Chain A
Amino acid sequence: MSLTSDDVKRVAKLARLGLTEAETTETLAQLNSILELVDQMQQIDTHGVAPLAHPLELKQTLRADAVTETDQREKFQAIAPQADAGLYLVPRVVE
């Protein structure tokens, strides 16, 4: 499978990743060489093999549904690009 430059633009949009024209061109060739490497997987017969998500297949542990975090809003918002009155500010979304 080989990507086109439109594919790269579509995927970049999905990833919310701004690419310049030059980056798109350069990336296209590199992504295709990576996909060529990845396509070596197709040589392996995996019929009937269950996918492995956790290497040790340990069970997910659950904890009691109790509040354990304290309110640290001021500390966290002190490092925000733009915050005011406890809110994170972004460009207007709804006109």
Chain B
Amino acid sequence: MSQITDLSFSELKKALGDRTLSSVDITNAFLDRIETLNPTLNAFITITHDEAMQAAKEADAAISNGTATAYTGLPIAHKDLFCTDGTLTTCGSKILSNFVAPYDAHVVSQCKNAGLVSLGKLNMDEFAMGSSNENSYYGPVKNPWDTTRVPGGSSGGSAAAVAAQLTPLATATDTGGSIRQPAAFTGTSGLKPTYGRVSRFGMIAYASSLDQGGLIAHTAEDVAHGLGLIAGHDSRDSTSANQPVPDYTETLNDSLKGKVIGIPKQFFDDRLDSRMRHAMDDVLEVFKSLGATTIEVSLDHVAEAIPAYYVIAPAEASANLSRFDGVRFGYRADSPADLMDLYERSRGEGFGSEVKRRILIGTYALSEGYYDAYYKKAQQIRRLIRDDFNRALSSCDLLFGPTTPSTAFVLGEKTADPVAMYLEDIYTVATNMAGLPGGSFQAPLIDGLPTGYQLTGRAFGESMILNAAHQVQLATDWHTLRPEGV
């Protein structure tokens, strides 16, 4: 038999159900692997060893006495921007380096209620701002496929932890690509649900009209299990959608015969790297062999998604991050002379440079006299982008493209140039602007490094995305490849 940590979430679920493994066996195996590999990868900020072992024992007791759910005893780890009652929640920032959250995020309590065992809190770019995980106060995460490379960001810890088999399932969040880009860089499956599908209660806010919680795992099937647990209406998030939650696992095996895949021509223009184009062609061949057809579609305003995003997201961030002021929780500067000094130094010392840049850009864009030129203009472009997507998706079932322009880049390669880093998200940002669900799934390796293809669906069409990706995973082995040497 393979090692416990080789198993996917779905395989572990089966082993627990058959009682061939106990939750204590599983939890021990993953905690041991974390202890061995985390010093190299830095995927976890906090490892909740004792709490996890306690929860595993309780899970095994629940399984024996018949009070378990279908998921009791399975492991998960949470991105460190989900508040966890009684556990350090840093959001990758110095300003929250002493913040023990006093309550659970909705996503966390849903997982707890289902009996999942949390292994700890995962590293990330500070306040989810970044595409390489190099903006963490707790140090960069290394890509398990090549530790000289970044794992992507901002959910770099989530992606690296799954890729290195430190956890079979991880929560993550995506504001402009922060689930999909790291999934592509680490050879994992990641899903950003429709805006409003998953409650943002207890998710530390970056850009509230774009943020959405989701998952990273080895397979689409694993993500389908996880999404069923965390999706659904929550009255504590007023933007949470009151839509029924389907059983995402039930439609995984639907046929793709007759499904229409839209290929946005802007994603396949001359700028696309030829090796990436070949990898995408390989995936499209599989879709065609499964009975799907393809059509070309156009997203006319997709090029403006990044410029508009870098107004909307920083503007919302500048408002959201005003709560970190050194008064009620978090870091406070030593010996403040007066209240203004307390605010300015607590924030100046507590935030890292990328967070400061975005607060400044956002504050500037919202300041007197600039609103029409920046925020209003960006929101107008946002409507044009949203309308493009809706038009395209009226003629096809899913949109297809590369998740990223290239494979994972080398640590330090883009840190000096913020704009170069922003362009990493060129294929992912528009999906957030349109509020639609998007997933990244494993495509063929390029030079031994993972790549991802992206599927974007209609609003609340997560089932179709997961179904399509699952069918490809049944027909290929790209999702079974694991990094060697870690």
Contact = CB atoms under 8 A, between A and B. Distances in A.
A23 interface: yes
Interface residues of A, number: 56
A31 B361 contact: yes
A55 B434 contact: yes
B327 interface: yes
A34 interface: yes
Contact of B239 (A19, A36, A42, A58): A58
Contact of B356 (A17, A36, A46, A91): A17
Contacts of B361: 31, 34-35, 38
B438 interface: no
Nearest to B341: A91
A14 interface: yes
B328 to A, nearest CB: 6
Given A17-B351, A18-B345, A41-B381, A79 B102 contact: yes
Interface string B378-417: 1111111010000000000000000000000000000001
A14 to B, nearest CB: 5
B298 interface: no
Interface string B346-376: 0111010100110111011101000001101
A36 B28 CA distance: 51
B169 interface: no
A60 to B, nearest CB: 6
Interface in A37-74: 37-44, 46, 49-56, 58, 60-61, 63, 72
Nearest to B420: A33
B376 A90 contact: no
Nearest to A51: B379
Given A38-B310, A90-B342, A61 B422 contact: no
A91 B338 contact: yes
B344 A16 contact: yes
B289 interface: no
A40 B423 CA distance: 13
Contacts, number: 175
B307 A56 contact: no
In this complex, the member of A12, A16, A23, A44 whose beta carbon has the largest number of chain B beta carbons within 10 angstroms is A16
B379 A15 contact: no
Nearest to A42: B377
A83 to B, nearest CB: 8
Contacts of A92: 338
A53 B378 CA distance: 10
Contacts of B337: 91
Contact of A76 (B328, B377, B419): B328
In this complex, the member of A14, A17, A23 whose beta carbon has the largest number of chain B beta carbons within 10 angstroms is A17
A13 to B, nearest CB: 8
A15 B418 contact: no
Contacts of B303: 40
Nearest to B309: A38
A3 B344 contact: no
Contact of A11 (B328, B345, B348, B367): B367
B327 A41 contact: no
A37 B353 CA distance: 19
Nearest to B233: A61
B258 interface: no
B148 interface: no
A34 B419 contact: yes
18 contacts: A11-B360, A12-B360, A14-B363, A17-B359, A19-B348, A19-B356, A23-B356, A31-B360, A33-B417, A38-B310, A43-B304, A50-B380, A51-B379, A55-B434, A55-B435, A79-B100, A91-B336, A91-B339
Interface of A: 1, 3, 7-8, 11-12, 14-20, 23, 26-27, 30-31, 33-44, 46, 49-56, 58, 60-61, 63, 72, 75-76, 78-82, 88, 90-93
Of all A-B residue pairs in the complex, the 7 with the closest CB atoms, nearest first, are A55-B435, A18-B348, A51-B379, A18-B344, A81-B332, A46-B380, A52-B383
